[in-house]
Amino acid sequence: MKTDKQGIGRWQGAGMMATTLLGTGVFILPQLTVAQAEFSALYAWILLTLAIVPVTLIFGKLAARFAHAAGPAYFVEKAFGKVAGRVIGLMFMCVVPIGAPAAIVMTFMFVQQIVPVQGQALLLGQLSTLLFLWLINLRGIQVSAKLQFALTLIILTLVILLFGKSNPTAVNFNSSSFDTYAMLGAAGIAFWSFLGVEAMSHLSDDFRNPEKDMIPAMLIGTVLVGAVYVACTLLVIAYPNNESLSMVGLFNAFFGELFGHNGHYIIGVLGVAGGLATVNVYTASLARLICSFAEQGVLPSYLAKRNEFNVPLSALTTLMLVIALVLIVTFYSQQDLEDLINWVNGVFVVIYAAAMLAAWRLLSVKNRPMILLGLGFCIALAIGIGTHMIYAFILMAVITPFVMLQKKKQLTKVSNA
């Protein structure tokens, strides 16, 4: 056990968890879920926050006992073997080229609050963002974690101020209808906000006292973010407006006199900064995962090439090109943002379910009630996501035989050596 003063403490860990989960979705997802399920969206957020708790707890226990940078892929490998572990790892690798474009599309919803850009100029701006991210990564430069934490504090402060100025009793709970199917659909979209629970499992070695602090940090961060989303959803329901981003309308309604009805600039700047930071971190991290798979012989060897700053240049460039292709296809096919979000969420449902099944084998029997709750949560989300789960199933169908063939080739090489 670590006893020095270096490393992450409980409250630092809770802050990192909140930073990972909050992102810019707090300005967009509540209105998307309300559009999907109206008043039932509020119940979706409340139930989702409660349901993610057992999943978070199990991830925390797995991370504390089986610390490894590969996170869920390593847990699955320990429980079910190398093939299963690599399938989960490659599924995560394949989801970012869909998730990153979705995050960029969300980011440009904030750009449009600052600069009215449409049509081909919008696509050009999105592609230019990828070029910018590629350039700043050439020397291994990443957006500071301190900057992301500061952005999260600003966003939290803004939400607290908005809620403090509001009157939640403006919502008539008695006359509001409830729709179970619509609620599940809203939960399927809302799950995007909790993508990243598994990310803390990569950081267990960085905690000062992981056995004592990691699980509380994860739980505090998760519940805090859930409360913020519930508050924002309640505000969107109570104070509907005609702005393309409801949070802009709310800001102008409560603080318009103080800031001259410039809420679109304030929300826009926060959204763009948070969006770029999030996309940059995930693309930089995935480039290193791709490079690692290439070094292990799972992916083509040219993807393992690094530059003089030890940046996985080939993997980074290939990843950016794939994301650019997805952005172009998304733009010309007029693909809905909700579709991209649900495709990503479907893959993470499979990853989370696989981690719960691994926990059934790896953790003690006393944890099984929590594991069953986690599995039930995954099944309910899969129902809510519906036909969008097909992307995850296609990935599994393609990746599994690929990994099995790779393993067979490696065994053949060993036997012939």
Q: How confident is the model at residue 205 (pLDDT cuts 50, 70, 90)?
A: low
Q: Which residues of 4-32 are buried (b: 16+ CB within 10 A; e: fewer)?
A: eeebbebebbbbbbbbbbbbbbbbbbbbb
Q: Residues 319-351: pLDDT tens digits? A: 999 999 989 988 888 878 888 888 989 999 999
- Residue 366 falls within a domain, yes or no? yes
Bridge partners for 207 per DSSP: 8
Domain count, the chain: 1
- Residue 5 falls within a domain, yes or no? no
CB 39 within 8 A of CB 237: yes
Q: Residues 104-157: pLDDT tens digits? A: 888 888 888 888 888 889 899 989 988 988 887 776 544 455 666 677 788 888
Q: Which residues of 269-301 are buried (b: 16+ CB within 10 A; e: fewer)?
A: ebbbbbbbbbbbbbbbebbbbbbbbbeeebbee
User: Which of 270-279, 339-348, 363-372 has maximum average pLDDT?
Assistant: 363-372
| pLDDT of 392 higher than 80 | yes
| pLDDT of 202 higher than 70 | no
What residues make up the domain containing 309?
A: 11-411
- Residue 317 falls within a domain, yes or no? yes
Q: Kindly report the backbone phi and psi dihedral angles of residue 201, in degrees, each rounded to the nearest multiple of 5, phi listed first.
A: -70, -15
- Residue 1 falls within a domain, yes or no? no
E strand or H helix that includes residue 187? helix 180-190
Spatial CA neighbour of 70 closest among 87, 95, 54, 58: 87
Q: Residues 245-264: pLDDT tens digits? A: 888 888 888 887 777 777 88
CATH of the domain at 293: 1.20.1740.10
For residue 173 the two structure tokens come to 């709970």
Give the helix ranges, DSSP H, for 66-172: 72-80, 82-114, 119-137, 145-165
44-48, 271-275, 279-283: which range is least confident on average? Answer: 279-283
- Rounded to whole angstroms, the Cα distance separating 154 from 38 reads 28
- Residue 3 falls within a domain, yes or no? no
| pLDDT of 1 higher than 60 | no
Q: Residues 12-41: pLDDT tens digits? A: 777 777 776 776 678 888 999 998 888 889
- Residue 74 falls within a domain, yes or no? yes
Bridge partners for 8 per DSSP: 207
- Residue 323 falls within a domain, yes or no? yes
Rg (CA), the chain: 21
Residue 28: left (phi > 0), alpha (psi -120 to 50), or beta? alpha
Residue 276 CA: distances (Å) to CA of 98, 333, 343: 16, 24, 21
- Residue 417 falls within a domain, yes or no? no
Q: pTM for the whole thing?
A: 0.81
Instruction: Calculate the CA 328 to chain-centre distance.
Output: 22
Q: In this predicted structure, what is the pLDDT of residue 3?
A: 45
| pLDDT of 372 higher than 90 | yes
Measured N-to-C along each axis, helices 337-362 and 40-65 cross at an angle, to the nearest 10 degrees, of 40
